[in-house]
Amino acid sequence: MPLVLLLILLSALPDAMLAVVLRDLFVERYGVSAESAQMFLAVNLLGAGLAVPLVRWLRASCPAWSIVVAGALADATLLGLMWLPIGFGPTLVLRVLEGVADVATFAALFQILGQVHDRPAAWRMGVGASMLVGGLGAGAAIGGAMIRMSSMGPTIAFVLGAGSCLATALGAWIGSAVLERSAPAAERPEVGQPERPRSLWPVLLMAASDRATGAALTAVFAGFLAKNLGYDPAQRGLLVGLPLILMAVGAAPAGWVADRLGPLRVRTACAFAYALCFALVPWLGFSTVALSLVLLLLGLAAAPLLPASLSLASQAGQGTSGLAAFRAAGDGGYFVGILSVVTVGALAGGDRMGTQQALMAGFGLLHLACTAGTVMAMRRGR
């Protein structure tokens, strides 16, 4: 299990490194607009959708460890090619393919983690979620620091990302031999399931709604604090980072609680609290104390969402392809969240603050509705 967690951390580093230097990479390197540069993040989601049938086909004949090795090597190769001055268009094509490899690696790693039977399921997924979120944070920090120190400039992010993927592939290759006895189920192809698989769509909707609200929080909230309330960068960083830190630190303990009370029950209670806190956030900005308190509650409520959802996805009986679909649904939700924020912002006029408050409240209510619908569906066994 420690090796799998390390590989999850390593596999999460590249995306955060690239996101930090997006403007420098493409606006300055290829002369495209800032809006066009965002396409680099968006097309990765297309690759995520394409990965689902590919993973299902691969798992019919390949062990999960082999998918991790192949996916990480493909990821490293594609990042290396993107480092070359090949133009913005070809870079976007490679980014689509990189999205396929990224999701395949993610799904196989969490499938292996889900089949390590020496710990309860949700606790394992919680620790994995902590490593995933921690890897994103570490990737952003490492990428930003290395870019300032390196003479290569922002393109060093491609090199660092490729190196991280090569380390993931090497670790998975070692793990396929060393951990074969301790995780034999993860080494067998998925030729069938002993039980009838459960419907996965409610869990996919959970993933999409979680990521959509996360996109709204990062895209709207920081700008809201700066433009409307006059918070300085240090204050904004602290307030935006507070719930993310609590999510990373609290995921494993939240998974432990979910194992004892049931992942659906814990997820339902926390999702309702999360949605209500989310909707309240933009209305409390004039009081730093009140805002900080609600963000604290928001982070605590958000901590169980990912481990509980991953546990439910793993229990659905659809194997690695189900986890790939979970990741793709989350990426799709993130894209819809960003697109909604950009579209509403472009169309809105007049009361900008009121628009941002309505957006945050709307996303919170949407998450609340998704939670109610998915819980009813899962309790009815649909």
User: Domain segments of the chain: what residues?
Assistant: 2-187, 201-379
Say what the pLDDT of residue 350 is.
47
pTM of the model as a whole: 0.77
Cα(316)–Cα(71) distance, rounded to whole angstroms? 24
CA dist 147 and 72 (Å) reads 23
**Check whether domain 201-379 has CATH 1.20.1250.20, yes or no:** yes
- A 10 A CB-CB count for 208 gives 23
Widest Cα–Cα separation across the chain: 64
Is it true that 2-187 and 201-379 share their CATH fold? Answer: yes
Residue linked to tokens 């420690």: 2
Query: At a CB cut-off of 8 Å and minimum separation 6, what does 229 contact?
Result: 285, 286
Question: Domain 2-187: which CATH class?
Answer: mainly alpha
Q: Which H or E run includes 73?
A: helix 64-83
Give dist(CA 49, CA 329) in Å, integer. 8
382 residues of the chain, pLDDT tens digit each: 788 889 999 998 888 788 767 767 787 788 887 667 767 877 877 888 888 888 888 877 788 888 999 999 999 999 999 999 999 889 999 999 998 999 999 888 988 887 766 555 778 888 888 888 888 778 777 776 776 676 777 788 899 999 999 999 999 998 877 765 554 444 444 444 445 567 788 999 999 999 898 878 776 666 666 666 666 655 666 676 778 788 888 888 988 898 889 999 999 999 999 999 988 887 876 777 888 898 899 989 999 999 899 888 888 777 788 888 898 898 888 888 878 877 777 777 545 677 778 888 889 999 999 999 998 988 886 5
Find the distance separating the first CA and the last CA of the chain, reported in whole Å: 33
What span, in angstroms and rounded, lies between the C-alpha atoms of 343 and 354? 15
